[in-house]
Structure 1
Amino acid sequence: MNESKILVCPYCHNNYFHVKYESSFVYSYVIDSDAPGLKNTDEFLSFQYDNREHKDARQYLECQSCWAQFPCSFNQWDKNMGIKDLQAVIDKGGNL
């Protein structure tokens, strides 16, 4: 494993990564007499929804040179984790 202070992609050997978190939601608005959504009175404002349902989420490291993706979960992150742990995820192809 690389002991340096930078991450290294095993495919292109670049060291420029982004952490990505993709998430999808379904927003619902009650149809009433003034504007869609019980919280909207004068106009429709999409952020004033009545219900939000989380559908899916995906977290990964992404190389910004070759676009290789390495799945991992940052829900387990703590103060003792660092570059070494992220490189281990990359080296084994994903999953922190």
Structure 2
Amino acid sequence: MKKNKLFCPACGSSNLTAKYEAKYIYSYIIDSDSPGTLNKDEFYPFLYDKREQVESKQYVECGACKTQYPCTFTTDNKGIDSAVLKKAIHKV
């Protein structure tokens, strides 16, 4: 494991976590057998007809002092670029 060279400017801790919070609205079409066209005999909440992301928040959080640093990264890449993290933490 690589040594963590990033630290919290507020307290100096290296206990940092990148977090992605999201809020979704799940929709189920009401039909004769159960809510949702993908549900046949029983209702399963994971078989939704439509999902809309209505809010999201991305940030780096210090585990020691809980300071949050806004950061923009995507969920479809293979990780978070360290340059993006450094920029977010030292922008404050």
Aligned equivalent of 2:69: 70
Structure 1 alignment gaps of length 5 or more: none
Once the 2 structures are TM-superposed, how far is the Cα of residue 67 of structure 1 from its aligned partner? 0.6
Relative contact order (C-alpha < 8 Å, sep 6+): which is higher?
1
Checking the alignment, whether the CA contact within 8 Å between 2:26 and 2:51 is kept in structure 1 is: yes
- Give me the TM-score of the superposition, normalised by structure 2: 0.82
- Give me the TM-score of the superposition, normalised by structure 1: 0.79
Once the 2 structures are TM-superposed, how far is the Cα of residue 43 of structure 1 from its aligned partner? 0.7
RMSD: 2.2
* Number of matched pairs: 87
Aligned equivalent of 1:92: 91
- Matched position secondary structure for 2:87: helix
Structure 2 alignment gaps of length 5 or more: none
CA–CA distance in 1 between the matches of 2:42 and 2:12?
Answer: 51
Q: Does 1:11 align with 2:10?
A: yes
2:17 maps to a residue whose letter is H
Runs of 4+ in 1 over 4 A off after TM superposition: none
CA–CA distance in 2 between the matches of 1:78 and 1:46?
Answer: 28
* Identical residues among aligned pairs (%): 43
Aligned equivalent of 1:36: 35
